[in-house]
């Protein structure tokens, strides 16, 4: 299979909003390779089903997203817990869209972990206003790091320290930001 890359996409600093009532849904295998994407996913990311299925979810990864967030996502999923978070995604045309994502483990009939399932909704602008500077600070830390491993660990440490200062758990913070009015 030919591995698609988004490295050739020219970034356009323009946001495309999800509709209020819509859900972006996808399923992946254990490695994050897409096995299913709904119509809204395809319309927002601007890929056809054939282009996206079997590709890794990082096909829509935006370079403004800190590695530390994905480290936390995978840490959470490996513990078979559900993840909530705000993600800036890259469209095929170079523009971006923010989502509030919930990712959960999926089990087969034998009760064994078989993959992951994600549902995203439109996030309130007020949440993005709070999350964006945190992500920018994480990215700045990652740029100074000497290795990828150090980058994701140091920026995740920063996120954890921010949360400790606010005396909140990550999940509680993102859920309360999502529930706040925009
Ligand atoms: C169910 C599921 C949904 C995901 N959704 C996204 C997503 O919407 N955007 C994204 O950039 N990464 C998403 N990821 C994470 C990607 O698999 C990947 O870890 C991330 O894009 C970072 O890629 P990189 O480590 O190759 O830079 C998802 C993973 C899973 C398991």
Residue 106 predicted with pLDDT over 80 = yes
Task: Name the more confident of 117 and 166.
Answer: 117
Q: Which of 5, 26, 32 to mutate to test the pocket of ligand 1 (most atoms within 8 A of CB)?
A: 32
Domains of the chain: 24-179 (3.30.450.20)
Residue 53 DSSP symbol: T
| The predicted structure's pLDDT at residue 168 | 79
Confidence at 3, pLDDT banded by 50, 70, 90: very low
| DSSP code string of 124-151 | PHHHHHHHHHHHHHHHHHHHH-SSHHHH
Mean pLDDT of the chain: 92
- CB of residue 71 inside a 6 A radius of ligand 1: no
Question: What mean pLDDT is predicted for residues 47-76?
Answer: 96
Q: 49 pLDDT exceeds 90?
A: yes
- Among 119, 135, 133, 144, which Cα is nearest to 72's? 135
Alpha carbon 106 to chain centroid, angstroms? 18
Share of the chain above pLDDT 70, in %: 96
Which of 4, 28, 58 should be mutated for ligand 1, with most atoms under 8 A from CB? 58
Q: Distance (Å, rounded) from C-alpha 70 to C-alpha 87?
A: 10
Burial class (CB in 10 A: 0-12, 13-18, 19+), 174: buried
Least confident segment among 97-101, 108-112, 160-164: 160-164
**Can you give the pLDDT at residue 181?**
62
Q: How far is the CA of 57 from the centre of ligand 1 (A)?
A: 5
Residue 100: name the closest of 77, 134, 78, 125 by CA: 125
More confident residue, 140 or 160: 140
pLDDT of residue 167: 79
Q: Name the pLDDT band for 143 (thresholds 50, 70, 90).
A: very high
Residue 182's pLDDT band, with cuts at 50, 70 and 90, is low
Spatial contact of 113 and 107, defined as CB atoms under 8 Å apart: yes
């Amino acid at each position: 299979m030919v591995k698609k890359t988004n490295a050739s996409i020219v970034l356009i600093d323009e946001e495309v909003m999800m509709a209020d009532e819509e859900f972006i849904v996808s399923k992946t295998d254990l490695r994050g390779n897409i096995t299913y994407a709904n119509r809204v996913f395809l319309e927002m990311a601007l890929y056809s089903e054939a282009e996206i299925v079997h590709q890794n979810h990082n096909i829509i990864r935006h370079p403004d997203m800190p590695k530390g967030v994905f480290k936390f996502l995978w840490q959470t999923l490996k513990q078979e817990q559900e993840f909530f978070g705000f993600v800036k995604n890259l469209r095929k045309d170079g523009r971006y869209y923010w989502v509030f994502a919930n990712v959960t483990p999926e089990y087969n009939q034998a009760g064994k972990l078989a993959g992951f399932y994600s549902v995203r909704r439109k996030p309130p602008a007020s949440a993005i206003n709070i999350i964006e500077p945190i992500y920018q600070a994480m990215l700045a830390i990652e740029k100074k790091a000497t290795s990828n491993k150090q980058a994701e660990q140091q920026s995740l440490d920063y996120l954890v320290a921010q949360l400790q200062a606010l005396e909140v758990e990550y999940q509680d913070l993102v859920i309360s930001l999502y529930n706040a009015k925009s």
